[in-house]
Amino acid sequence: TDDPIPTPSVPPPDILRCAYMEIVVTDLAASREFYVDVLGLTVTEEDDEVVYLRSIEEFIHHNLVLRQGPVAAVAAFSYRVRSPQELDRAVDFYTELGCRVERRAEGFTKGIGDSVRVTDPLGFPYEFFYDVEHVERLAWRYDLYTPGALVRLDHFNQVTPDVPRATRFMQDLGFRVTEDIQDDAGTVYAAWMRRKPTVHDTAMTGGDGPRMHHVAFSTHEKHNILAICDKLGALRRSDAIERGPGRHGVSNAFYLYLRDPDGHRVEIYTQDYYTGDPDNPVITWDVHDNQRRDWWGNPVVPSWYTEASLVLDLDGNPQPVRERTDDSEMGVTIGADGFSYTRRDEDEEMPEWKKGEYKLGHQL
């Protein structure tokens, strides 16, 4: 990266985990129906403007905030830190970086106490908090489970033009990389990084940014994810299914990508692996490996690469989006100069059914 973000002289806050995302939705009733009636998230609290939602195993006030607003966007990527004292560290860390930093003793959303919001050096609205209202952990409430029950918030995914620059900054913030996608020339297309010992709390996806690629909830088993698809079919809302279900190469998890009524992307995810050891082996995937994003080699739809949600600054205005200048993952894997393989050292082209619509100029 030509333009590295300097490493602050002060230590970063000790982050526990990604905790909630606040999204702005343009039709609160429609979004509530999607997240509550279709996906089955639990309403902790709500009013005419905001709905606070949580997953079944959660004991903090919320994992997702839906806020009515004029433009669909993300207001906050919010992380829980290990103690109240870590908020001071967050303030110092971002202040030294010249970021805009706001702190409110009473918190920015209901249920959350003292918290810090910043516009980070990559342009994302990040939040840190420790104080939070405890609510009933519904894990044992099997009378409330639906066939597609979402049990935890698993991770965020952010779109940013320069992945190595973003990754190094996140490492300064205390994150550890678990997997990434590169090519032989060293271009990095995406990177996954964690605080809690799963594959990630957030990932950096190369593209025009800052934008929000998706927010991911986990289920207990794979059939729970299939049940969500089945229900969307029954509701004649199958067009909400953008990609999957499938098995990821990266993370080894089973996945599904949905689009909510505003187009915000939601992943449903299950069964990645433990990454908590300091020497956890980092896995680098070749961008031309057709199993990297879908272990079964099923084509990624173009919208998944190109579309993402705007993010807001601390005044609630959309952040300007800067173009990626490195190669695009979609471009190098298909199109005139792109290629993908199932078996690295084989010359044979992939069969038609694995190429999807990514062949430049593909015709029926």
Name the binder of 222 from Ca ion, a copy of itself, Fe ion, none, CB < 5-8 A by kind: a copy of itself
Name the binder of 347 from Ca ion, Fe ion, a copy of itself, none, CB < 5-8 A by kind: none
Q: Which stretch binds Ca ion (CB under 5 A): 131-139, 168-176, 277-285, 354-362?
A: 354-362
Q: Exactly one of 27, 357, 360, 362 binds Ca ion (CB under 5 A); which one?
A: 357
Name the binder of 317 from Fe ion, a copy of itself, Ca ion, none, CB < 5-8 A by kind: none
CB of 165 or CB of 243, closer to Ca ion: 243
Map residues 206-225 to x or -, x wherever contact with Fe ion holds by CB under 5 A: ----------x---------
Report the candidate in 328, 356, 18, 13 with the shortest Cα–Cα distance to residue 159.
328
CB of 46 or CB of 230, closer to a copy of itself: 230
Q: What is the nearest approach in angstroms of a copy of itself to the Cβ of residue 240?
A: 9
Name the binder of 267 from Ca ion, a copy of itself, Fe ion, none, CB < 5-8 A by kind: Fe ion
DSSP codes, 259-291: E-TT--EEEEEE------STTPPPEEEETTBTT
Q: What is the nearest approach in angstroms of Fe ion to the Cβ of residue 342?
A: 23
Rounded Cα–Cα distance for residues 276 and 230 (Å): 35
Neighbour tally for 27: CB within 10 Å: 13
Q: What is the nearest approach in angstroms of a copy of itself to the Cβ of residue 275?
A: 10
Q: How many residues bind Ca ion (CB under 5 A)?
A: 2
Name the binder of 351 from Ca ion, a copy of itself, Fe ion, none, CB < 5-8 A by kind: a copy of itself
Residue 342 has, within 13 A of its CA and on its CB side, a CA count of 13
Residues 6+ positions from 253 with CB-CB distance below 8 Å = 199, 247, 269, 270, 271, 272
Q: What is the nearest approach in angstroms of a copy of itself to the Cβ of residue 354?
A: 5
Map residues 304-343 to x or -, x wherever contact with Ca ion holds by CB under 5 A: ----------------------------------------
Report the candidate in 304, 64, 91 with the shortest Cα–Cα distance to residue 207.
304
Show the CA angle centred on residue 176, arms to residues 172 and 178, nearest 5°. 145
Residues 6+ positions from 317 with CB-CB distance below 8 Å = none
DSSP codes, 128-156: EE--B-B---GGG-TTS--TT---EEEEE
Q: What is the nearest approach in angstroms of Fe ion to the Cβ of residue 200?
A: 7
CB of 3 or CB of 353, closer to a copy of itself: 353
Q: Are 274 and 194 in contact (CB under 8 A)?
A: no
CB of 261 or CB of 299, closer to Ca ion: 299
Query: How, if at all, do strands 125-129 and 115-119 pair?
Result: antiparallel
CB of 104 or CB of 247, closer to Ca ion: 247
CB of 136 or CB of 357, closer to Ca ion: 357
Rounded Cα–Cα distance for residues 97 and 101 (Å): 10
* Helix/strand/coil percentages in the chain, nearest 5: 20, 35, 50
Token pair in block for residue 219: 């289920």
Token pair in block for residue 183: 């090519």
Q: What is the nearest approach in angstroms of a copy of itself to the Cβ of residue 166?
A: 25
Interface with Ca ion (CB under 5 A): 356-357
Binding residues vs Fe ion (CB under 5 A) = 157, 216, 267
